[in-house]
Amino acid sequence: MLARGDHVMTIPGTTKLENLEVNLEAYNTSLTDAELATLDRLADRVQGDRYDGRGMSIING
C-alpha cells in the first residue's frame, strides 16, 4: 500500500508491541514494478464481500 503514493497511510491493527514493530518493518520493504503488477492482478480476482450481509450492513450503515 505504501507504494501507492505519499497520500496513503497504513494503520496497523495490533494490540502487541512486538507485532507493531514487525508491521513497521514494512517501511523498509520495496517491491519491484513486476511484483506490484502481480499483486494488482491477484487483487482484481478477489470477489464477494468480506463479511456476510449483516456484517456489511454494520460497516455500510
Q: Per the domain annotation, does 60 fall within a domain? A: no
At residue 52, φ and ψ (nearest 5 deg) are -70, 180
Q: Per the domain annotation, does 24 fall within a domain? A: yes
- Whether the full predicted model's pTM is greater than 0.95, yes or no, is no
pLDDT at residue number 54 = 92
pLDDT at residue number 44 = 92
Q: Per the domain annotation, does 57 fall within a domain? A: no
pLDDT at residue number 6 = 81
SS3 50: coil
Q: Per the domain annotation, does 61 fall within a domain? A: no
Domain that holds residue 13: 2-43
Give how many domains the chain has, as a whole number.
1
Q: Per the domain annotation, does 27 fall within a domain? A: yes
pLDDT at residue number 11 = 79
Q: Per the domain annotation, does 56 fall within a domain? A: no
Q: Which three cell numbers stand for residue 27?
A: 517501511
Contact 17, 29 (CB under 8 A): no
Encode pLDDT of 5-52 as tens digits.
888 777 778 899 999 999 888 888 889 999 999 999 999 999 988 899
Q: Per the domain annotation, does 55 fall within a domain? A: no
